[in-house]
Amino acid sequence: MHSITIISATNRVDSNTEKVANYYKSVLKSKGVDVELFSLKDLPESVLHTDLYGKRSEGFQKIIDTYVDKQSKFIFIAPEYNGSFAGILKVFLDAIPPRLWMENKACLVGVSTGRAGNLRGMEHLTNILNYLKINVYHNKLPISRVDTLMDAAGNLVDADTIKVIDMQLEGFLKF
């Protein structure tokens, strides 16, 4: 069984997105799933210049090898940025050869401090992933007002959210 890569889809340091991504990782590990977490804050600076246009830096090639090339399932934890998702995620997707994404599966989670849980951004991301021939799991989870669902240490504590995450993951593992 291939492992799952969780992508924390922002390059913002100490983000709520990464806290949610870490929660997903801990749930999957508790279910015995081999899981990797990659945060876009760890992208090399070269991604905007060299890596985006096909010349690979050693650092970016290692990211591709570790988190993309050998995987068949991805979970994108995507924060809302200006009514969509973070531009750095689009750069990341564009910098990777499309053939590496083809016929894989993805699960989407939208994160926002507002009311909609990045619904619009998840639809934009679905369109891009479908173009790349990635099968997107139907149960896309919008997590609204994420900042109110965590304790002071940044741990997800809202029982209803924990329940729907578990249901989403159970379905995605069977997908």
CB 111 within 8 A of CB 84: no
Domain architecture of the chain: domains with CATH = 4-174 (3.40.50.360)
Report the predicted TM-score, pTM, of the whole model to 2 decimal places: 0.95
Q: Tens digit of pLDDT for each residue in 71-112?
A: 999 999 999 999 999 999 999 999 999 999 999 999 999 999
CB 142 within 8 A of CB 116: yes
SS3 39: strand
Query: Rounded distance, CA 93 to CA 12, Å?
Result: 17
Burial class (CB in 10 A: 0-12, 13-18, 19+), 28: buried
Q: Tens digit of pLDDT for each residue in 9-33?
A: 999 999 999 999 999 999 999 999 9
156: CB partners within 8 A, 6+ apart: 19, 20, 23, 149, 150, 162, 165
H or E element: which one contains 68?
Answer: none
